[in-house]
Amino acid sequence: MVNVGEKAPDFELLDTDLKVRRLSDFLGKGRPVVVLTFPAAFSPVCTKELCTIRDNMSLLNKANAEVIAISVDQPWALKAFKEANKLNFTLLSDFNRQFIEKYGLVLEDLLGLKKLAKRAAFILDEQGVVRYKWVSDDPRNEPPYKEILNLVTAMTVSKSGGCG
């Protein structure tokens, strides 16, 4: 289990182009990193969640945030999901379930499907320290989008020394 105030463990996962990506690839760029996990590509709630993130990317980009979404789906399924929904952020495949086990996000059973990712959201600072964590045991719950956006914006404003 990864908690607020702890350094997020690094990982190696495949992206939709079968390139190995590590958490460290996204850190140290002077911006917060939003890490989302979701149970299954093409499912109704996951599609709604990731399309909501897509539709708010201009605000996240304005806040200088990087977004990564992770599921246990195969990379090519995630690629089809990304293309079908015109998702404009990185999707990573945890098909070996190493990430969800390391982060304590295993959804043991969902309608007979075993060991999916719980729906979760983390905000990491540029050093990879967890500044925010939201995890749902109910896969029907969507993350608190406004709360995430407000915190990412506040992190960016405080870093730049602006008023907040």
> Which residue is it, tokens 């990087």?
66
The set of residues, in sequence order, having a beta carbon less than 8 Å from that of 108 and lying 6+ positions away, is 114, 115
Q: Are 54 and 89 in contact (CB under 8 A)?
A: yes
Q: Which tokens is 65 given? A: 């945030």
Residue 78, SS3? helix
Q: Is 46 a catalytic residue?
A: yes
Among candidate residues 23, 46, 77, 124, the one labeled active-site is 46
Bridge partners (DSSP) listed for residue 122: 35, 133
**Helix spans in 7-102 (H):** 23-26, 44-55, 57-62, 75-84, 98-102
Q: Which residues are catalytic?
A: 46
